[in-house]
Structure 1
């Protein structure tokens, strides 16, 4: 094992497969699946789009950091993060310190095909294709700190899972 914490952290843009691959990894390892966005919703008591709208992105990011730090102290977990969890330096340091970080990537076309015009994704409002391309460019190097990067375009969640576990188990 690569980490004494036994936590696999999945990072990457929305639509790269973090939740889906996370579920497959949890099944394969027997670890519990933690979905950071779901944990934030549970803590806040209302959906992320509402959190963004009413409290603003800064408040959301503060909550995200707090919940992330708690989740990273739960060994035997697969942690699927939100796409923007890497935007704070502290979050990246915490992930590296307490988990084994895997960045999932995908082409803009793949992401748009997967998430489309999802109204539950505040950052995609107004033209998914253009927004996804802009976000990919903006976050081009945001995921570079990961221990492993896996492109999920055109691969089944099982195949991606197997690839991750092959590296994780060394």
Structure 2
């Protein structure tokens, strides 16, 4: 039985929150979502934080929350992170201390289909969202590749992703 916390990383729309909640329930662990914790702390949506204070401020907040999440006792949590958590190497260092990092991956087209209706995605409020997804994925993919494990979420349901993760972890 893996005693570490399970950390989900990956681009927006890859299923980190949905899969994380289901995985935590299946394993009897508590679920944490770093983006939700930031929103609770600031009292506003991430899109508003980006708009009012900028991405740099948001990334600073994110690192504070990740540092706190890294102190959760081992084997008790499933943690979903924001898509850009990998942009700061410090974040991965914190998470790796007490967790196994699993990257959830999806194609740009699948991601766009999943997030196109969500107007709270500040990085996609552009003229060419598919192009922006491709650009950001090209930038972040080498960082997601630093995960301990990777699961492709294209064309499968969140419960199927959970099954894959549990199999990979040997639970």
TM-score scaled by length of structure 2:
0.93
2:22 corresponds, among 17, 21, 24, to: 24
Deviations along 1:85-142, one digit per CA (max 9) or x if unpaired, are 1100100111111211000000011101100152101000113211111111121201
Q: Which runs of 4+ in 1 moved over 6 A?
A: none
**Map of 1:15 onto structure 2:** 13
- Count of residues paired in the alignment: 168
Shift of 1:169: 3.0
Asked if 1:45 is matched to 2:46, the reply is no
Distance in 2, matches of 1:32 and 1:117, equals 29
Structure 1: segments with no counterpart, 5+ residues:
none
Structure 2: segments with no counterpart, 5+ residues:
none
**Map of 1:139 onto structure 2:** 140
Secondary structure of the structure 1 residue equivalent to 2:143: coil
Aligned CA RMSD, in angstroms, stands at 1.3
Distance in 2, matches of 1:38 and 1:157, equals 19
**Map of 2:112 onto structure 1:** 112
TM-score scaled by length of structure 1:
0.94
Q: After the TM superposition, which residues 20-169 of structure 1 pair with which residues of structure 2 at under 5 Å, given as runs? A: 20-75=18-73, 76-126=76-126, 127-169=128-170
Distance in 1, matches of 2:145 and 2:65, equals 22
Distance in 2, matches of 1:119 and 1:92, equals 28
